[in-house]
Chain A
Amino acid sequence: MSTPSLAGSPGSASSRKRAAVSPSLRPPRVGLRVRFVGAISLLAVVIVTVVSAIEIRRDRQEILGELVRKARATASLVAVSATDDFALLDIKQLQGTLANLRRQEDVVSAYAFNPDGRILTDGTRENPRRHQVLDDPVTQQVLQTGNAVVQVGENLLEVTQAVVLGDQRLGGIRIGYSLQGVHAQVRTRRERSIVLSLVFIVVALALVWQLAGAVTRPLAVMLEGVRAIAEGDLNTRLRVQTGDELQVFASAFNEMTESLQETTEKLTHDAIHDALTGLPNRTLFLDRLQHAVARAARSGTLSAVLFLDADGFKIINDSLGHGAGDRFLQDLAQRLQGALRPSDTVARLGGDEFAVLLEDLDRPGDALQLAQRIQRQLETPFTLGGQEIFTSTSIGIALSSGQSDPAALLRDADTAMYRAKTAGKGRIQIFDEGMHIDVRRLLRLQTDLRRALERQEFHLAYQPILALASGRVVGCEALLRWRHPTDGHIPPRDFIPVAEETGLIIPIGEWVLREACRQMQQWQRANPGLPPMTVSVNVARRQFAQPDFPFHVERALAQAGWPPQQLVLEVTESTVMEQADIVARALARLDALGVRLAIDDFGTGHSALSLLHRFPIHVLKIDRSFVRSLDVPARSGAILRGLIALGEDIGVDVIVEGIETDAQLATLLAMGCPFGQGYLFSPPTTLEAIGAMALRPAAATAPPSNPA
């Protein structure tokens, strides 16, 4: 049996974390081995004592029995041989006989007595008890029966034997044997028995101690192992080669530890890695960043954090499904790693956000170069589900020179990225202090915007849409206005992107829709002289992405009692393009309702024309840039004319936005443009003002036509 031992990592955690160990893992004060041996020794002592006592008792009886037999035999023999001496009363002979008896080792007394029990001789010349009468019952009994009786006392065994001749009682003899010999023999046997018992107990104890040790030694090793594991040293393995259940237990324990170690390592890995891409996660990234910042501070070198956001991820996720989105992120992660040095850290922070830690940079420009290299790597289209997907990446850069707090450094990079994304896709922005101010402002704006709806700080303004030929008002575009309680009027271009970013655009958009329908219905009812007007409401991209958007539209119409045919929903080209599938479903549903659809800012997008046959479009709103261009180059006029003709050809109403001068109006009229809106006619205003304008006698430049 080999000595069990503990295999652990050198300088194991035991010394490090000793204080942390649970008190229940300390070795017990009275161990199993001591208890085991104690119990066995107690048992052994009891058994041996009982057995010895029985043995000694039996020995004593045996030895005594031997003496009794000897005494009886001797007495009997003497009685027979001394019969003549008794008959002749030859005291001298009897004395000699008894003297001979007394020479025997254990004989201490011998008497010959007459039939009266009187002592004749005790075997000595002096015979001090001569003539004394033995009047004890035994003597009487012996003399009466003619038999022999043995009496055993404390230290004396006496055999009293009658001497008879025929039926005549001649007297008797009594021989006293000392029991010292018996005692001595018993003592000797007892001592031997005790010695043997002690030897037995000692040997048994030694064996039990050894045996118990064979159990407790491995147990101690196991306990040590369990303690080591409790202290966190999972490299611990038990080496128990006892060849018995303990070894099996130790093996099972080792397997368990291995499994635990694997699980722990996996958990540890999972805790600091992103499951999808296998890249470090935010926790690990921040940890590495902390070390990098510290190193950079010590060595005076530069580190940089790149915050990346894949611009097209949401579209991919929404249009191609999450599986494609996941594959996209995995590919992206792989490409990112390919673009970087092995010493750089790439981490996925969540969603489509990635961070890169660059260390040992010589100058800030290196960070920019690496960021550009990354962008180039990601320009190559991704192939997902057989489709080629083009994407761009916005990157924010924060340098360690300006920030020593790793979390703050990451936040700065995030801010820079946000700025880059706001500035346009596929940009790179290096963080500067000014961004802090922007960010603070943005944060406040978001907070205020959240409260604006509750506090009813929004209101609607309307800009009339006219039939250019007749100069009659045919409808209004509802425009959102925010009057901030302290900052006053905030332009839509400042808060609409924030509302879109935060998702507030959805409740706000619903409010606009409801309110526009309600106000228009109220206005029309209040002014029966007015012809039926249309109302145009702008719908944000995220609103459209809501699956229940058509339902909201239906409900708003129903609540207000506004006819669907008089509602125009304006969406941008990009809204339709980026979420083609969702938009197609929503548009089909809205078309079925009877709601009309307008493409806002038409002509600025990439593939405007393809929309027209893919979707049920009723209105095209031509971007104001086309009208402005009328003032200078003739070529733009041609495009505008083409667009107007196109609308007419395919039966879609065309509204030109941003008409500001009479010259522009004249040109448009010449081109046959049916509808328009702009400051030339009216800035966004109240419905009351529009009502007044509509009821005014027409001063139109051309005969009116019906835009509905």
Chain B
Amino acid sequence: MAGEQAVGAPPGGTVSIGSISLTPQEETEAFQPLADYLAMRMAPLGVERGRVVIATTMADMAARMKRGEVDLFIDSPFPALFVSNLSGAKPTLRRWKKGRVEYHSVIFARKDSGIASLGDLRGKVVAFDEEFSTSGHLLPKATLLQQGLRLVSLADQRSAAPPDAVGYVFSNDDENTMFWVLERRVAAGALDNQNFEVLAGQRMGELVVLARSITVPRHVVVLRGDLSPRWVSAIKEILVSMHLSDEGRTVLRKFERTTKFDRFPGGPEAALQPVRDLMRYVDAELSRQSRQRQQP
């Protein structure tokens, strides 16, 4: 954050990276090396240190960006766009998280559960990840809605779903999602394709894939809307050239095995448009379902 920005920002040269997490410590540990790297590189701009700002919700993050507390926010398309919409921040670069630039969501169940399609999930419970998860929430939710299924949010995994609707709970963790399915705590779960394979591991044979979502960018870097052009260009330049240096690659590896940052080949808007569409669809669909239930 540059010296001329004032509102809510700490004085002096600090560059702040924001992330949404329910486990702030773990998250900070993952982000701090990148923050430090950025700060060091941005020293010519008067930056002295890098900071990690953890928000617990997308709204919170949006507010913080709006207040200028967070200069850049890196997350999957759903929260990235959500925060961007609320705060005016701008999706700028792609992040190759764990070597993947794109991914999609997988809805799966135990093979021996008798569930063969999404329709079989009526009266059952599905585990999503977190509310702001693209692959663990937005994409599977959209997929289920597109199948004409009614979704009901449940308090926890032990709650029962209405017989005509699919109940869903947040497991808050991909691993929880996988084990809940495997251990029959829930009927089905949703994970991104990459985690699905990793977490199923040797028990893949016990599982059956019910559906796959559309493919979306893996991670997006969102820059605060009112950031000075010097900062914007500096941050962009630093991030996209990180993987070219040894030092940069080391920091990338520590940052959740990121391969590199790069520019959207067709520009950010084009790449993120399907996600925006899905978000709008989900909102619309959920509103419609809500209205239907109020006027039976």
Beta-carbon contact of B203 and A131 below 8 Å: yes
Nearest-neighbour CB distance to chain A for B87, whole angstroms, equals: 28
Closest chain A residue to B206, Cβ basis: A131
Q: Which residues of A contact B199 (CB under 8 A)?
A: 130
Selected contact of A89 from candidates B180, B201, B202, B203, CB within 8 Å: B180
Which residues of A in the span 203-254 have a Cβ within 8 Å of any Cβ on B? Answer: none
Are the CB atoms of B175 and A88 closer together than 8 Å?
A: no
Residues of A within 8 A of B176 (CB): 89-92
Given contacts A91-B173, A92-B172, contact A131 B201 (CB under 8 A): yes
B245 at the interface (CB under 8 A from A): no
Q: Is B249 an interface residue (CB 8 A)?
A: no
Asked whether A96 lies within 8 Å of B23 as measured between CB atoms, the reply is yes
Complex: chain A residue closest to B22, CB-CB? A92
Contact A95 B23, CB 8 Å, known A131-B201, A131-B203 = no
Q: A130-B199, A130-B201, A131-B203 are in contact. Are A92 and B183 (CB under 8 A)?
A: no
B100 close to A (CB within 8 Å)? no
Q: Are B175 and A91 in contact (CB under 8 A)?
A: yes
B23–A89 CB distance below 8 A:
no
Residues of B within 8 A of A130 (CB): 199, 201
Least CB distance from B239 to A in Å reads 24
Taking the closest CB of chain B, its distance from the CB of A88, in whole angstroms, is 7
The answer for the CA separation of A656 and B180 in the assembled complex, in Å, is 180
B175 engages A95 (CB within 8 Å): yes
Bound: A114/B26 CA distance, A: 25
Assembled-state Cα–Cα distance A127/B172 (Å): 17
A257 at the interface (CB under 8 A from B): no
Asked if A120 CB lies within 8 Å of chain B CBs, one says: yes
- How many Å lie between the Cα of A89 and that of B26 in the bound state? 20
- CB of B231 within 8 Å of the partner chain: no
Q: Is A121 in the interface zone, CB < 8 Å from B?
A: yes
Inter-chain contacts of A127 with B (CB < 8 A): 175
Q: Which residues of B contact A120 (CB under 8 A)?
A: 179
B250 to chain A: which residues have CB within 8 Å? none
Q: CB within 8 Å of B: which of A125-159? A: 127, 130-132
What residues of A have a CB within 8 angstroms of the CB of B180 in the complex? Answer: 89
Chain B residues near A132 (CB, 8 Å)?
202
Given contacts A114-B183, A120-B179, contact A92 B202 (CB under 8 A): no
Query: Do the beta carbons of A91 and B179 come within 8 Å of each other?
Result: yes
| A89: chain B residues within 8 A (beta carbon) | 176, 179-180, 183, 185
Residue B157 CB within 8 A of the other chain? yes
Q: Are B203 and A92 in contact (CB under 8 A)?
A: no
A92 touches B173 (CB 8 A): yes
Q: Of all chain B residues, which has the CB nearest A116?
A: B183
Residue of A nearest to B173 (CB): A92
Residues 18-42 of B, flagged 1 when their CB comes within 8 A of A and 0 if not, give: 0000010010000000000000000
> Across the interface, which residues of A come within 8 angstroms of B172, CB to CB?
92
CA distance A89 to B199 in the complex (A): 15
* Bound-state Cα–Cα, A653 to B280, Å: 203
Apart from A89-B179, A89-B180, A89-B185, what 16 extra A-B contacts exist at CB < 8 Å? A89-B176, A89-B183, A90-B176, A91-B173, A91-B179, A92-B23, A92-B173, A92-B175, A92-B176, A95-B175, A96-B23, A127-B175, A130-B201, A131-B202, A131-B203, A132-B202
User: 10 closest A-B pairs (Cβ-Cβ)?
Assistant: A92-B173, A91-B175, A131-B203, A91-B176, A131-B201, A131-B202, A91-B179, A130-B201, A89-B179, A92-B176
